Structure 1
Amino acid sequence: MPLLGLRALILLVSLSATAAAQDKNPEPKAANGEAVSELGKNIMYVMQAKNDVYWFGSNDSGVYRYDGKTLVNFTTKDGLVSNQIRGVQEDKSGHIYFTTYEGISRFDGRAFTTLTASEKADPKEWKLRPDDLWFVGPQDSGVVFRYDGTSLHRLAIPKTKIGEEWLDQFPRTKFPNARSNPYDAYTIVKDRKGNLWIGTANAGAGRFDGDSFRWLYEDHLTNVENGGSFGIRSIHEDKSGAFWICNTRYRFGIDAKDAPKPEKGMLKYKREKGFDVNASDGSDRVYFMSVVEDAKGVLWMATYNAGVWRYDGESATRYPVKDGAKEITLFAVYKDNRGDLWLGTHKAGAYKFNGKTFEKWRP
C-alpha cells in the first residue's frame, strides 16, 4: 500500500476510535436551570462559594444559585442526581458538590455530573489527605465517601461495641422495615489538627486521625431525655479547642492531660460545663442541629424547634425565628464569606441575620 494511503487509513481508524469513545462518554448536557423569583420552602443548606456565589440546597426542589442578581433553580431535569440535598461543598478548583441520598453531583460551572463510587468498601482506602472531600452516605448504609479528585471511595464505618449492642437490641429480623443503621453518618467535619470527625446515628462520635478510629459516646448526646434519638448531628471545635457535640449542657476537652484513662478504642476526654438553659420542654439543655463560630468567638447554635442560641462564653441568648407570628423549625446555620449568618429552615425558605434578628431572605 502506498505510504499516503496507509497514513489515510491510520487517520480514519483513529477518528473512528475517537468518535466511538465520545459516544460512550458523551459530554454532559449544559445545565441552564430556571430563573425564579424566590426560594423553595425547605432549604436544608446555605453555602457561599469562593467566587461569592450563593448556593441553597433544598429538601425537595434541588438547588438554587444566586450571583447577586439572578436566582436560578437546578433540578434533576438539569442533571442533578436528586432533588433532596444533604450537603454542599466546594473543592480547591471551584467545583461545587452536592450530597444526596441518591449519589453525589458535581457542578463545574457548566454541567452536572454524577460521581460513581466503588461498589465495595475497601478498608485500605481509609486515608486522610488535606484536599480530599468527604460525604455522608445514603440512609441505612453505614458508609461514608472519600473523593480524592479522581475516584470516589466507599468506606464502611468501623464497627463498635456500642453500635453492635444497638443492632442486637433492634435486630432486622424483628424490625424488617426499619430504615436506621447505628453507623449512619449525620455529619463529617475536620478539627484544627486535621483529624476527621464523624457524627453517627447511634454509635457516637468517631475521630479518625489517619491511622485509626477512636470514639466518644455518652448516651445523652444521642438519646433525648423525653424519649427518641437525636444522633450526633453537629460537632464543633471552639476557639479554645473544646468540642461542642449536639447539646449545650457540656463541652469536651479531648486528650486532656487530666482526663481519665479511656477504654480500648475510646477517646481520652473530660467533660466541661457548657451553659445553662431553660428549654421549652423543661430540659436543662437544648440539642442543636448546626453551629458556627463568628469572628469574635461567639457561638451560634441552630436548634430544630427552639430558635437560635447565641453564646459568648459568659451568657446565652435565644433568638426566636418567626414566619409572621409563628416560630419556625430550622435545619442549619451558616456563616458566609463576610461573616453574615444564614439559616436553612423547614417550610420557610432561608433567613439572614440583620444584626438584631433573623429575617426572611428574598433576592
Structure 2
Amino acid sequence: MKLNILLLLSILTLLTSCNGQTASKQKNNEQLKEQLVKGDTVQALGSSVMVVYQDKKNNYWFGSWKTGVYRYDPSASLKTGGKTLVNYTADQGLPNRIDEIKEDQSGNIYFTSCSPNSTIVKFDGHTFTTLSPVAGNDWQLKSNDVWFRHSFQSEKVYRYDGSTLHELQLPKPPNLPNPFEIYTIYKDKKGNIWFGTNPVGVCRYDGKSFEWITEEDVTEFRNEGANGVRSIAEDKNGDFWFNTEYRYRVYDSATLDNNQFYTRHQSIGGLDGKKDSNLDEYLSTVRDDNNNLWFVTYRDGVWKYDGTNVTHYPVQYNSTDITLFSIYKDNHGALWLGTHENGAFKFNGTIFEKFIL
C-alpha cells in the first residue's frame, strides 16, 4: 500500500514538473514573439509613403519608399490618450521599400517590395516571415488566394494559397512577342484577376483562359507615349476603367460569338477637359462609398468624377503643390493619399490635409 502511494506521488510530481516546463516554455515563446515584433516607436511618418492600408483590426499601415512600414493603432490612442506610431524596417525582417500591402482571410498581412528584387513578407501578428517562391505553372483562381506583383521589368506574378507562394509566368498576348512588365493586379467583383502592364495592355484571367485588351486600345492616344496601366477600377455600372478616355464593357467569354470580350465606349477624356490633354492616365484610382471615382496623378493632384462632372483637388503642403503616389479608401470610407515626399494625406470632406499625429 505504501509502495503504491509513493509511486502515485512520484507520478504526480513528474506530471507537475512537466506541466510547469510546458507552461514555462509557452511563456518564453510568447515573450520571444513579443520581442521579435517590437519595432521603433516614432513621432511621425517618414516623408515618402507609397501605400496606405487599414487591416481587419482597424490598424493603419503606411508603406514607405525608404523606411519600411509604419503601424498606427487608433484604438490604442483612444485608450491611452496618446498616439502611437511604430516603425518596422529591415531590423525586423522587412524590406525598407514597401510597394504593396495586402491581407488574407485570416488577417495575415503581406508586404511586397518590387525593387530591386521581389520580396514578399508575411506578418502573422507576431513575426515577419519572408516567403520563398516556388516556380511553376500552377495557374488557378481560388477566392482566398492572394496575388502579388513581381520585381520591376518582370513578366511574372505571385499567387499565394496559404502554404505555397507560386511564381507564375504571365503568357504573352497574341502576336506581341516584345517584353513587358506588370504594374498592377486587380480582382474584379466576379473574382477574375486583371493584370495591368506596360507596354502590352491589360489581361484578364478567369481561371480558364487569358484574354487581352492590347495597348493600342488602352493607353495609346493622341500619338503620344504611354505610361502603361497602373490602376484598374470598376464603376457603379460595372464598366472598367484603365484610362479616362474610354470605359470598357466586359463580357463573359462563354456568351460571345467572337474573340473580342469587350466593347470600348467614349468616356470623359482628359481630366482637365483640354482637347490636347495629357491627363488621360493616372497612377491610382478608387471608387468611394458614393460611387464617385477618384484619380491620382503624380504632379497634378486628385480628380473626382461623380458620373457627370469632374472636380479637381490640388494637394499642397506649405502652399506648394506636391507629388503623389496612391489613393486608398479605408474601412470607414475615408480617403487617404500616399505621397512622394510629404508623408500621408487624408481627405476632410473639402481638401486633402497632411496626416499628423
Q: What TM-score comes out, normalization by structure 2 length? A: 0.82
Q: What does residue 265 of structure 2 align with?
A: 272
Q: CA shift at 1:290, angstroms?
A: 1.1
Task: Give the SS at the match of 2:133.
Answer: coil
C-alpha separation in 2, matches of 1:284 and 1:228? 10
Q: What does residue 119 of structure 2 align with?
A: 103
- Are 1:347 and 2:344 matched, yes or no? no
Q: What does residue 306 of structure 2 align with?
A: 312
Residues 132-186 of structure 1 deviation map (CA, whole Å, 9 limit, x = unaligned): 000001112210000000000000000123541xx3xxxxxxxxxxxxx41x211
Q: What does residue 323 of structure 2 align with?
A: 329
Cα distance change, pair 304–279 in 1 and its aligned pair in 2 (3 A): farther
Determine if contact 1:222/1:232 at 8 Å carries over to the other structure.
yes
C-alpha separation in 2, matches of 1:302 and 1:358? 12
C-alpha separation in 2, matches of 1:66 and 1:354? 19
C-alpha separation in 1, matches of 2:111 and 2:321? 29
C-alpha separation in 2, matches of 1:310 and 1:41? 25
Q: CA shift at 1:92, angstroms?
A: 1.2
The counterpart of 1:254, out of the listed 250, 272, 280, is: 250
Task: Give the SS at the match of 2:91.
Answer: helix
C-alpha separation in 2, matches of 1:314 and 1:248? 13
For 1:9-20, list aligned pairs within 5 A. none
C-alpha separation in 2, matches of 1:132 and 1:262? 31
For 1:191-202, list aligned pairs within 5 A. 191-202=188-199
Q: What does residue 190 of structure 1 align with?
A: 187
C-alpha separation in 2, matches of 1:185 and 1:142? 6
Cα distance change, pair 330–281 in 1 and its aligned pair in 2 (3 A): farther
Residues 39-69 of structure 1 deviation map (CA, whole Å, 9 limit, x = unaligned): 1111110000010000001111100000023
Q: What does residue 94 of structure 1 align with?
A: 107
Determine if contact 2:219/2:281 at 8 Å carries over to the other structure.
no
- Are 1:31 and 2:37 matched, yes or no? yes
Q: What does residue 133 of structure 1 align with?
A: 146
Determine if contact 2:33/2:126 at 8 Å carries over to the other structure.
no
Q: What does residue 115 of structure 1 align with?
A: 131
Q: Which runs of 5 or more residues in structure 1 are unaligned?
A: 1-25, 168-180
For 1:128-277, list aligned pairs within 5 A. 128-161=141-174, 163-164=176-177, 167=178, 181-182=179-180, 184-219=181-216, 221-223=218-220, 225=222, 227-245=224-242, 247-255=243-251, 263=259, 267-276=260-269, 277=271
Between the aligned residues of both structures, percent identity stands at 45
Counterpart amino acid of residue 266 in structure 2: K
Determine if contact 1:286/1:303 at 8 Å carries over to the other structure.
no
Task: Give the SS at the match of 1:347.
Answer: coil
C-alpha separation in 1, matches of 2:234 and 2:43? 37
Q: CA shift at 1:288, angstroms?
A: 1.2
Counterpart amino acid of residue 93 in structure 2: G
Task: Give the SS at the match of 1:161.
Answer: coil
Q: What does residue 17 of structure 1 align with?
A: none
C-alpha separation in 1, matches of 2:132 and 2:338? 28
The counterpart of 1:302, out of the listed 296, 305, 313, is: 296
Q: CA shift at 1:222, angstroms?
A: 3.7
Q: CA shift at 1:216, angstroms?
A: 0.7
Cα distance change, pair 280–28 in 1 and its aligned pair in 2 (3 A): farther
Q: What TM-score comes out, normalization by structure 1 length? A: 0.81
Cα distance change, pair 159–220 in 1 and its aligned pair in 2 (3 A): closer
Q: What does residue 351 of structure 2 align with?
A: 357
Higher Rg: 2
Cα distance change, pair 324–47 in 1 and its aligned pair in 2 (3 A): same
Counterpart amino acid of residue 157 in structure 2: V
Counterpart amino acid of residue 191 in structure 2: G
Q: Which runs of 4+ in 1 moved over 2 A?
A: 26-29, 218-229, 259-263, 276-282
Task: Give the SS at the match of 1:30.
Answer: helix
Q: Which runs of 5 or more residues in structure 2 are unaligned?
A: 1-31, 75-82
C-alpha separation in 2, matches of 1:223 and 1:327? 28
C-alpha separation in 1, matches of 2:345 and 2:275? 25
- Aligned length in residues: 313
Cα distance change, pair 256–147 in 1 and its aligned pair in 2 (3 A): closer
Determine if contact 1:29/1:111 at 8 Å carries over to the other structure.
no
- Are 1:53 and 2:59 matched, yes or no? yes
C-alpha separation in 2, matches of 1:262 and 1:344? 42
